[in-house]
C-alpha cells in the first residue's frame, strides 16, 4: 500500500498490543483538572484541560483537550488529546496521540506518537526506539535506539544512534543531524541533506507515490474515537459495561433494534421537519441520532475488547486495562475497515448491535443485567 499506512499501523497497533497493564487507583475528571504532589499508584484523568506536575510512581492515562504532563513519572504515559505537552522525566514508555504534540523530556524507554504536528525538542532524550507519524514531524532531540517516521513534512536535526527509516512527502536532514546507523527513506523526491550532516551508515532512497491521506482508518478520526471512548467510559461506566453484557445476553434483539433505529429515525425526523412546528424537534432528533450512533459504536468497541480479553485470557478488571484494550480495538477495527466490502459490513453490524444494546439498556440505566456476556 502506498503512503504511510504501513508505518502508521505499526506505530500504533503493535506497541499498543504489548502494553503492560496495571490498575488505576487515583482518578480525576472535570472541565479543568490540576494535579500536584506525590501519587503512590497509577493516575487517571480526563477533562477539557488537564495539568499534571507531580511525582507519580505508577502509570499515567489521560484524555482531554489540552494536556500537560510533567515532573517525574515512574511508569508509562498514555495520552490522547488536542494539544499535549510533556516535560520532565518519564522513566518508561510514552504512547500519545493528538493534534499538536510537544515533547521536551527524558524518556526511559520507547516513544510512540501520532499527531498533526510532532516536535521533539533538542533537550529530549529517548533511551529506546521512537515511532512517529504526523503531518509535520521535527526531531531535534537524541534517539538512542532506532527512529521510524511517517509524515507529510519530516525534519531531522538531532542525533539517532541506531537506524533511521523515513516515509514522507518532504524530507530534510539538517546540518546538525547525526545518524550513526543507516538511513532508509521512501519519498517522491530526494531528501534535502545539509552539507554538515553526518550519516555513518548507508543511504537508501526508494521513490514512491506518497499520499498522507492514505492512512487506513484516518489518524484524526482514530484520535477522536480514542478520546470519546475514554470519556464515555469515565462518565458512564455502569451503563457501558451493562450494555456490553446486554450484547452477550441478547445479541439478536440488540441487532434488530439497532437496525430499526438506524433506518426509522432519519425518516421520522424528516417528516417532522416538514411540519412547521416540528422543525426543531426533527433537528434535535437528528442531533441525538448522531450521538446515539457514536455511543453505539463505542459500546461495540468495548464489547470486542471484552471478548478479545477473554480469548487471550487477559484480566480487564481494572479501569486502565479496559481503556487500553479498547484503544487497541479501535486501531484493529481501522485495519478491518480496509478490507473491501467485508470490512465495512463488519463495522456496520458492530454499530447496529452496539446501538441496539445501548437503547435496550436505557431501561436499566446503572442497573446491570443478570445474564453474563
Range of weakest confidence among 6-15, 209-218, 313-322: 6-15
pLDDT band at 1 (very low <50, low <70, confident <90, very high): very low
Q: Evaluate if residue 167 carries a pLDDT over 50.
A: yes
pLDDT at residue 237 in the model: 85
Helices 319-336 and 342-361: crossing angle in degrees, nearest 10, is 140
Is residue 76 classed as helix, strand or coil in its secondary structure?
Answer: coil
Chain-wide mean pLDDT for the chain? 82
Residue 161 in this model has a pLDDT that exceeds 70 = yes
If you average pLDDT over residues 206-225, what whole number do you get? 63
Per-residue cell: 16: 499498543
Q: Above 50 in pLDDT, residue 25? A: no
Task: Name, in order, each residue with C-beta under 8 angstroms of 233's C-beta and a sequence gap of 6 or more.
Answer: 240, 302, 319, 322, 323, 326
Radius of gyration of the chain (CA): 22
In total, the chain counts a number of residues equal to 373
Residue 24 clears pLDDT 60, i.e. is over it:
no
Question: Does the structure show a pLDDT above 50 at 146?
Answer: yes
Q: Which residues pair with 130 in a beta bridge?
A: 111, 147
Read off the pLDDT band of 13 (50, 70, 90): very low
Q: Which three three-digit cell numbers place residue 190?
A: 530526494
Of 127 and 373, more confident: 127
Q: Read off the pLDDT of each residue in 226-240 and give the average, rounded to a whole number.
A: 82
pLDDT value at 301 more than 90: yes
- pLDDT exceeds cutoff 50 at 6: no
DSSP assignment letter at 194: -
User: What value does the mean pLDDT take over residues 180-200?
Assistant: 92
pLDDT > 70: what percent of the chain? 85
Please tell me which residue, 235 or 120, carries the higher pLDDT value. 120
| pLDDT beyond 90 at 357 | yes
Q: Quick one: average pLDDT of 222-232?
A: 77
Count the Cβ atoms, other than its own, within 10 Å of residue 170: 16
Q: How far apart are CA 214 and CA 225, in angstroms?
A: 19
Please state whether the predicted TM-score (pTM) of the whole model is above 0.75: no
> What's phi and psi for 112, nearest 5 deg?
-125, 120
Amino acid at each position: 500500500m502506498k503512503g504511510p499506512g504501513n508505518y502508521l499501523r505499526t506505530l500504533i497497533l503493535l506497541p499498543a498490543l504489548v502494553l503492560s497493564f496495571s490498575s488505576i487507583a487515583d482518578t480525576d475528571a472535570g472541565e479543568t483538572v490540576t494535579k500536584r504532589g506525590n501519587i503512590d499508584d497509577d493516575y487517571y484523568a480526563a477533562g477539557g484541560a488537564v495539568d499534571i506536575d507531580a511525582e507519580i510512581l505508577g502509570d499515567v492515562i489521560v484524555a482531554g483537550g489540552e494536556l500537560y504532563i510533567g515532573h517525574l513519572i515512574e511508569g508509562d504515559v498514555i495520552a490522547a488529546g488536542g494539544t499535549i505537552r510533556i516535560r520532565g522525566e518519564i522513566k518508561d514508555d510514552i504512547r500519545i496521540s493528538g493534534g499538536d504534540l510537544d515533547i521536551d523530556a527524558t524518556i526511559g524507554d520507547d516513544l510512540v506518537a501520532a499527531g498533526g504536528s510532532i516536535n521533539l525538542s533538542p533537550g529530549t532524550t529517548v533511551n529506546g526506539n521512537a515511532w512517529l507519524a504526523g503531518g509535520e514531524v521535527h526531531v531535534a532531540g537524541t534517539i538512542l535506539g532506532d527512529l521510524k517516521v511517517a509524515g507529510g513534512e519530516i525534519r531531522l536535526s538531532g542525533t539517532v544512534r541506531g537506524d533511521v527509516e523515513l516515509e514522507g512527502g518532504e524530507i530534510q536532514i539538517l546540518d546538525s543531524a547525526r545518524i550513526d546507523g543507516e538511513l532508509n527513506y521512501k519519498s517522491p523526491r530526494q531528501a534535502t541533506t545539509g552539507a554538515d550532516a553526518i550519516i555513518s551508515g548507508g543511504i537508501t532512497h526508494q521513490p514512491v507515490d506518497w499520499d498522507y491521506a492514505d492512512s487506513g482508518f484516518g489518524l484524526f478520526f482514530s484520535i477522536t474515537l480514542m478520546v470519546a471512548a475514554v470519556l464515555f467510559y469515565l462518565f458512564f461506566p455502569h451503563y457501558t459495561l451493562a450494555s456490553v453484557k446486554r450484547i452477550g445476553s441478547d445479541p439478536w434483539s440488540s441487532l434488530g433494534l439497532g437496525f430499526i433505529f438506524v433506518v426509522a429515525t432519519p425518516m421520522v425526523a424528516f417528516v417532522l421537519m416538514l411540519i412547521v412546528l416540528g422543525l426543531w424537534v426533527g433537528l434535535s432528533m437528528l442531533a441525538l441520532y448522531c450521538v446515539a450512533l457514536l455511543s453505539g459504536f463505542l459500546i461495540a468497541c468495548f464489547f470486542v475488547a471484552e471478548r478479545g480479553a477473554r480469548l487471550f485470557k487477559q484480566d480487564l478488571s481494572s479501569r486502565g486495562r479496559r481503556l487500553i484494550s479498547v484503544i487497541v480495538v479501535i486501531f484493529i477495527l481501522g485495519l478491518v475497515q480496509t478490507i473491501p466490502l467485508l470490512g465495512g459490513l463488519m463495522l456496520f453490524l458492530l454499530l447496529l448491535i452496539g446501538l441496539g444494546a445501548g437503547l435496550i439498556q436505557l431501561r436499566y440505566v446503572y442497573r446491570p443485567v443478570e445474564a453474563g456476556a
